[in-house]
Amino acid sequence: MLSPCTGEALSEACCRGCCPNPFHGLPLDHHHHPHELEAPKSPRTAAAARHEFKATITSSLFPNAQFTNHESLPSLQESFANFTRVFPQYLQTDQADRIRAQDYFHLSLNNYVCFDYIGHGLFSYSQMHSCSSNVHSSAASTSSSSPLPSVQLEPPFFDICYRSVSLNSWLQYGSEESELESKIRKRIMDFMNISEDDYTLVFTANQSSAFKLLAESYPFYSNPRLLTVYDHENEAAALMIESSKKRGARVSSAEFAWPNLRIHSGKLMKKIVGKRKKKKKKKRGLFVFPLQSKVTGARYSYMWMSVAAEKGWHVLLDATALGSKDMDTLGLSLFKPDFLICSFYKIFGENPSGFGCLFVKKSSASVLSGSTSSVSTIMGIVSLVPPVRQSVVEPQKDVTVSTSELRKEPSFSEIIELETLDESSQSKFPESSISGESSKLVECKGLDHADALGLILISNRARYLINWLANALMNLHHPHSETGIPLVRIYGPEVMFDRGPSLAFNVFDWNGTKIDPALVQKLADRHNISLSCGFLQNIFFSGEYEQERVRVLETRSGTNETRSGVSVATAALGCLTNFEDTYRLWAFVSRFLDADFVEKERWRYMALNQKTIEI
């Protein structure tokens, strides 16, 4: 039986002393060489656990070392030896390495490092590779006169068709679903550890459409408030806020205290409780809460959901940033939010298209029936159908493209345009175009792999890697500076036991000027490293940080308002991330220690492409 201190519980409970071993889940190796660092002993207090973990991480990268030249970095082999010497438990997570080598070998073949996937992977690359070979062989035997469409060379596994229907109608009456959709629905419910007796699953075009769908269906006329908890600009939440405001909602947000970006507890509690104190519980509105930030990796307590529910709020849990098996944690198995949103993509490192999932608690579904939204039918709900056989279906210009033809999730503006589609878009695929055997062949091997690895292995592996990376980046300093100007600044938690597997950072030149995160992302992409960019916001600066507030805040102009925040580069680790991935990111960032690195990259690109390009 698993200890209650798993996943989020690790971040909260074990630091209160109920889990004495901070490296819970993997046994400690006490058989070290006499001159090697001893395995950490179990501290008795939360403070001791945090301090010892940080000290252990720091010692894994040459204690007290500061690297001022990218050529002085230790080699990959040397760094890995030091890392595993301090954390021999990491070697016990090699099952993830075997799965990656066998089923996601495209990452190694393409020398590709992927830090920009958020959500859960449905399928494996080996599935696609196997199906591609079969499709190609079958098609080659029947036709040699014309080349195959690219969609046949990259099996989509499923397509989506949009349904023009309100959320309330869907929840009340449902819709006939294919065998394929039924199987995927049951597999996802099982993977998310959510009971079909308690929740109804609605498939949506993506995460953004799930948020918008709920915003358009929630009765803000009677429950007028919307309270969100995001330390970053979130496109899906922004879409919900915009829709809610149009329907009369009063919107507010939690604030995050600089410099560690922890929730300002006093301010958030006041917003949850409100000014009036009545004995009768009042329905206040919708409380949107992620258990961790997908940008900074900060983790938040379950307590906020419980307090909000007690004070009359409906709770929407944004689970998009949770790890592969975090839904197995004790807290999530006991606390059941009114609504939950997550997202799934097709193949890690290959195909980010997929769909969103909106889970509606059956006992809370009635609240949506009272909505008086002016939008009678809201595009966003989708059905999963077997993929189109291109050899049978003639091209149709007026047909909405399927996810197999979309390499990326629809943008903010594309979601809005879906509302203008008429009911003729509901059925896009003639019966003759559908492979009757597709539903029998679908296996969600990506989910199978996560299940095989399990919560403990995934959590421990990610914890070692993300903390090593944070420590490694902070050890990079510009040369010839008396104050030792750091190359990198990390926002939010740095080296910390109870942090999530994502990192927000910026790179600074020798003069202390921030390098545009978009430029860092672009140069990383040239080195086969995929990063994302984010924008931190809702930051609270106390009086002592007033000068820093003026220095670090930037402004962005939106549709109706100007926002202040900090632009950052972000890296998110997944269950298949390995030590070499984190080392390569560290080595890449260290190149900025060369004051001429950016200029050299510009000239190198010009030489290769024979043209000037702005970077």
Is 322 among the domain residues? Answer: yes
179 and 257 assigned to the same domain = yes
460 and 582 assigned to the same domain = yes
* C-alpha span between 466 and 115 (Å, rounded): 11
pLDDT at site 164: 83
Residues of the chain with pLDDT > 90: what percent?
A: 54
Greater model confidence, 449 or 412: 449
293 and 359 assigned to the same domain = yes
Q: Are the C-beta atoms of residues 112 and 528 closer than 8 Å to each other?
A: yes
346 and 226 assigned to the same domain = yes
169 and 254 assigned to the same domain = yes
Task: Place 278 in a pLDDT band, splitting at 50, 70 and 90.
Answer: low
Average pLDDT across the chain, whole number: 79
Highest averaged pLDDT of the listed ranges 343-357, 424-438, 471-485:
343-357
For the ranges 11-15, 239-243, 474-478, which has the lowest average pLDDT?
Answer: 11-15
pLDDT at site 413: 36
Q: 385, 408, 425 — which closes off a domain?
A: 385
Is 187 among the domain residues? Answer: yes
Greater model confidence, 3 or 573: 573
Both tokens of 455, joined, read 């919560």
pLDDT at site 276: 60
Highest averaged pLDDT of the listed ranges 127-141, 354-368, 476-490:
354-368
Tally the domains of the chain: 2
pLDDT in tens, 351-379: 888 999 999 999 999 999 655 554 445 67
Is 209 among the domain residues? Answer: yes
List beta partners, residue 356: 204, 343
169 and 117 assigned to the same domain = no
226 and 313 assigned to the same domain = yes
What length does the chain have? 615
For the ranges 50-59, 77-86, 193-202, 256-265, which has the lowest average pLDDT?
Answer: 50-59
Q: 338, 361, 385 — which closes off a domain?
A: 385
> In sequence order, which residues have a C-beta less than 8 Å from that of residue 222 and are 6 or more positions away?
283, 370
Q: Are the C-beta atoms of residues 491 and 505 closer than 8 Å to each other?
A: yes
Is 32 among the domain residues? Answer: no
Q: What is the DSSP letter of 69?
A: S
169 and 116 assigned to the same domain = no
Task: Place 606 in a pLDDT band, splitting at 50, 70 and 90.
Answer: low
Is 550 among the domain residues? Answer: yes
Q: 385, 407, 430 — which closes off a domain?
A: 385
pLDDT at site 119: 87
Both tokens of 275, joined, read 């000014």
| pLDDT at 400 exceeding the cut of 60 | no
Indicate the burial class of 564 (C-beta count within 10 angstroms; 0-12, 13-18, 19 or more): middle
pLDDT at site 262: 95
pLDDT in tens, 298-345: 999 999 999 999 999 999 999 998 988 888 887 777 889 999 999 999
For the ranges 84-88, 139-143, 376-380, 382-386, which has the lowest average pLDDT?
Answer: 139-143
Q: Are the C-beta atoms of residues 385 and 393 closer than 8 Å to each other?
A: no
Domain extent, residue 544, equals 51-121+448-609
pLDDT at site 16: 31
Radius of gyration of the chain (CA): 25
Is 173 among the domain residues? Answer: yes
Greater model confidence, 47 or 351: 351
224 and 319 assigned to the same domain = yes
State the virtual CA torsion across 93, 94, 96, 101 in degrees, nearest 10.
170
* CATH classification at residue 375: 3.40.640.10
* CATH classification at residue 460: 3.90.1150.10
| pLDDT at 579 exceeding the cut of 90 | yes
The DSSP H or E segment spanning 191 is helix 179-191
483 and 531 assigned to the same domain = yes
Where b means 16+ CB within 10 Å and e means fewer, 38-72 reads ebbeebeebeebbebbbebbbebbbeeeebbebee
Q: Which DSSP string do the residues of 235-247 spell out, in sequence order?
A: HHHHHHHHHHHHT
Mean pLDDT, rounded, for 482-502: 89
74 and 202 assigned to the same domain = no
pLDDT at site 605: 67
pLDDT at site 403: 35
Q: Which of 215, 253, 268 is nearest to 565 (CA)?
A: 253
* C-alpha span between 443 and 126 (Å, rounded): 12
Is 319 among the domain residues? Answer: yes
| pLDDT at 203 exceeding the cut of 60 | yes
Is 15 among the domain residues? Answer: no
Mean pLDDT, rounded, for 506-513: 92
106 and 205 assigned to the same domain = no
Q: Is 106 helix (H, G, I), strand (E, B) or coil?
A: helix
pLDDT at site 609: 58
